[in-house]
């Protein structure tokens, strides 16, 4: 009697062979396998085959931005809200170069992004062909990794690696450049199930000895502070941070990128520090005897004159990226680690030592320190001079916070409005304040709001923008309208490049160096007319001039199921305060 041989079981990690496809179809299949739901892609000659393949997928939504920069910012907005890699695509040459600013933005802010570019055929590379640029070389300093596909059979491995690299360790952008001839070639692909990258250790884990040393330093401290940033959000460690802060009873100040990683209504919160951060956060961080720096990079906008930053305190730095350790600020105790692991481990040690979370926020561990911080808070609160009829920009944001109950996702452009949004909209949760922090890229706000709304369709997503910043990617109103993405925008319109005007007023005697955006021939006219511009895109926009009309206008915007703009006229004379002048210290802060 013959025994039937058992069918061998497939290994969960064994590669899988697909059907014969062209390179473009293989790429789309790979994107599907990575769980990609949406791609922001603008077509051109060298990416046409990929767009043809995208028309046949039922799993991926292709959104057509009206400019490649709008597409990459939208992909960033999607990534910043969802935590998953955003995906964008452009053709070769100018299409690829239009992605560069967004790729740099993702690199500076550690945002997971996969940018795909079409490239001229292999035989044309290096010959100055029509719409050829070396986007691989051009982006080398602003990506975690980049690929120029030279073999169709390498596409599955490359895509698998690209998504792994983009979203592991310290997240960041990855570029895949694909020549057109490879997109059109055919092969039977082999899809890997796993990734093995020699030398790439994406999740280092803190040494227990170092963590116990940290706990020992906390026991000795009399005026400790936690200074935490975007690494807490990208590491998914907000809950662990909250527990650690409550167990140790240490006050918390965040960076601009860290806004939302610690609830700002919490009694231990000092909001955020830096050039336009709170006086009390800057004072506390700089005068602390122990500074726990968690998921930060000691950016110049935070430290000011870096050698004077926390000059007399002991500094501990926990970060996942070894290149950031001792780069800007030499510290007493560096700890290389995934933050979620390090904080979780610290909480376990504290629990074993009997250090519980106080009931009802009853924090008593550092009474003299709390008293000092409260004195600073009382003396230097975030405030502004409100008026009876003129709309102050800070008032707009406070009112929006009240009317949304603090539950909206806020995106911003770059400028004064960005700082006011961070100051006067209190954020309780991570991934709700979406802003270009490291690169400071104007034009970011509205495309990012589109991507954020795609990632969170059931949430209010509102871009708080300036008239200068909004105009830089105003064409994305067309994308939002046609694609049915009801992202809202409030334009704080002062007819000027407000932040540059503020510096002119403070440091250049008020001399205007090309910062007026209105019509010099008709100063009474609001220019450009966003109401008419929006109308041309099929979008509703209303202008608000008087304070009494603002609440109803905001409510109409919130109630709308479609794209909606509020063009709110505000004075250009208003300054963002407090302000630490560039290169100065917290002691040089301007408060009035």
Catalytic residues: 68, 130-131, 180, 499
**What is the secondary structure of 540-589 as a DSSP string?**
EEEEE-SGGGHHHHHHHHHH-SS-EEEEEE--TT---SSB--TT--GGG-
- Residue 98 has a CB neighbour count (10 Å cut-off) of 19
Please, are residues 445 and 495 in contact by the beta-carbon 8 Å criterion?
no
Distance CA 503, CA 199 (A): 46
Q: In Å, what is the CA distance from 382 to each residue of 38, 277, 423, 584, 587?
A: 40, 9, 7, 21, 17
Q: Which pairing describes strands 16-17 and 190-191: parallel, antiparallel, or unpaired?
A: antiparallel
Q: Tokens standing for 444? A: 């970011």
Query: If 0-12 CB within 10 Å is exposed, 13-18 middle and 19+ buried, where does residue 106 land?
Result: buried
Helices 68-82, 476-483: inter-axial angle, 10-degree rounding: 60
**Could you tell me how many residues make up the chain?**
592
Residue owning tokens 């609160």: 381
Q: What is the DSSP string of 159-188?
A: HHHHHHHHHSSS--EEEEEEEHHHHH-EE-
Is beta strand 21-22 parallel, antiparallel or unpaired with respect to 186-187? antiparallel
Task: Assign residue 240 a region (left: φ > 0; alpha: ψ between -120 and 50; beta: otherwise).
Answer: alpha
Q: Give the number of other Cβ atoms within 10 Å of residue 57's Cβ.
A: 16
């Amino acid at each position: 009697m013959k025994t039937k041989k058992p069918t061998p079981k497939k290994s969960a990690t064994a590669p899988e062979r697909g059907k014969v496809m062209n390179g473009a179809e293989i790429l789309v299949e790979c994107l599907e396998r990575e769980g990609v739901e949406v791609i922001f892609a603008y077509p051109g000659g060298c990416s046409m085959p990929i767009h043809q393949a995208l028309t046949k997928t039922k799993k991926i939504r292709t959104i057509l931005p009206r400019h490649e920069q709008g597409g990459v910012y939208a992909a960033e907005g999607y990534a910043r809200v969802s935590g998953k890699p955003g995906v964008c695509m452009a053709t070769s040459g100018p299409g690829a170069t239009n992605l560069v600013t967004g790729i740099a933005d993702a690199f500076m802010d550690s945002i997971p992004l996969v940018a795909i570019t079409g490239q001229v055929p292999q035989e044309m590379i290096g010959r100055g062909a029509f719409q050829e640029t070396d986007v691989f070389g051009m982006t080398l300093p602003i990506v975690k990794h980049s690929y120029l596909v030279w073999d169709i059979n390498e596409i599955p491995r490359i895509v698998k690696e690209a998504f792994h690299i983009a979203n592991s360790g310290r997240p960041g952008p990855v570029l895949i450049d694909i020549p057109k001839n490879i997109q059109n070639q055919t092969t039977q692909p082999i899809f890997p199930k796993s990734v093995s990258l020699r030398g790439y250790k994406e999740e280092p884990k803190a040494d227990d000895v170092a963590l116990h040393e940290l706990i020992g330093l906390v026991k000795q401290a009399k005026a400790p502070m936690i200074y935490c940033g975007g690494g807490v959000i990208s590491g998914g460690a907000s809950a662990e941070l909250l527990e650690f802060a409550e167990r140790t009873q240490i006050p918390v100040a965040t960076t601009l990128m860290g806004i939302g990683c610690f609830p700002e209504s919490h009694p231990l919160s000092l909001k955020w520090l830096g050039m336009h951060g709170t006086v009390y956060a800057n004072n506390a961080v700089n005068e602390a005897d122990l500074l726990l720096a968690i998921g930060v990079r000691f950016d110049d906008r935070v430290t000011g004159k870096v050698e004077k930053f926390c000059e007399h305190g002991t500094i501990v730095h926990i970060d996942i990226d070894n290149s950031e350790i001792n780069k800007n600020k030499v510290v007493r105790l560096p700890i290389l680690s995934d933050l979620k692991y390090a904080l979780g481990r610290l909480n376990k040690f504290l629990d074993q030592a009997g250090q519980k979370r106080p009931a009802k926020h009853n924090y008593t561990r550092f009474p003299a320190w709390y008293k000092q911080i409260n004195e600073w808070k009382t003396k230097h609160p975030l405030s502004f001079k409100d008026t009876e009829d003129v709309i102050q920009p800070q008032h707009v944001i406070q009112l929006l916070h009240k009317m949304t109950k603090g539950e909206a996702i806020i995106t911003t452009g770059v400028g004064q409005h960005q700082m006011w949004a961070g100051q006067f909209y209190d954020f309780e949760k991570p991934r709700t304040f979406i802003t270009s922090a490291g690169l400071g890229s104007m034009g970011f706000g509205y495309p990012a709001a589109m991507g954020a709304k795609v990632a969170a369709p059931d949430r209010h997503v509102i871009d708080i923008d300036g008239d200068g910043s909004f105009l830089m990617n105003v064409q994305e109103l067309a994308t939002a309208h046609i694609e049915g993405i009801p992202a809202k925008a409030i334009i704080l319109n002062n007819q000027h490049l407000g932040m540059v005007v503020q510096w002119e007023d403070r440091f250049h005697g008020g001399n205007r160096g090309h910062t007026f955006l209105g019509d010099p021939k008709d100063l009474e006219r609001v220019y450009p007319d966003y109401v008419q511009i929006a109308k041309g895109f099929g979008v509703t926009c209303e202008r608000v001039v008087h304070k009494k009309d603002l609440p109803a206008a905001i409510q109409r915007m919130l109630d709308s199921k479609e794209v909606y703009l509020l063009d709110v006229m505000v004075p250009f004379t208003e300054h963002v305060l407090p302000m630490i002048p560039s290169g100065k210290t917290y002691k040089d802060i301007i408060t009035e």
